[in-house]
Amino acid sequence: MRITVKTTQVIMLIAVFLIAPFAILEIYLVVTIRMTEPYSYIWSIPLGVISFALMQAALLLGMIKGWKKYINKAGYYLIAIWIISATLVFILPLLFPNKLSFL
C-alpha cells in the first residue's frame, strides 16, 4: 500500500468524523437542556479511542514521510477540530453533570 498525502488527510478526516458528531450533540444538549445525555457515551467513548488511534497514525505517517508535505494547512485545521471535539466530548459531562444519571 502506497502512503500518499491524500491517504493521511483521509485518515485525519475519518478521525474527525468519528468524534465531531458527538461533540455537536453534547454542545446542543448542554445549550438546550443544561445537562449531558449519558447514553451517547456507549458510542462516543469507543469511537473516541478509535479516532485517537487514527489521528496518531496519521501524525506518525506525516512525521515519517515528511511533515511539511504530508501535514499541510488543511491538516492543521483537522487536528484543531479533532482536539476541540475530543476535549468537549470528555469535558462537558464533568462541567454539566446529569442529575438523572446512574452511571
DSSP structural state of residue 97: -
Provide the sign of the torsion angle of the four alpha carbons 63, 69, 70, 73, taken in this order: positive
Residue carrying the nine cell digits 453534547: 26
Q: Which pTM was predicted?
A: 0.80
Q: Which residues in 1-103 belong to E strands, given as ranges?
A: none
Going residue by residue through the chain (103 aa), what tens digit of pLDDT does each one get? 677 778 888 999 999 999 998 888 888 888 888 777 767 778 888 888 999 999 999 988 888 888 777 777 888 898 999 999 989 888 887 777 765 544 4
Q: What is the end-to-end Cα distance of the chain in Å, rounded? A: 43
CA pair distance 94, 4, nearest whole angstrom: 39
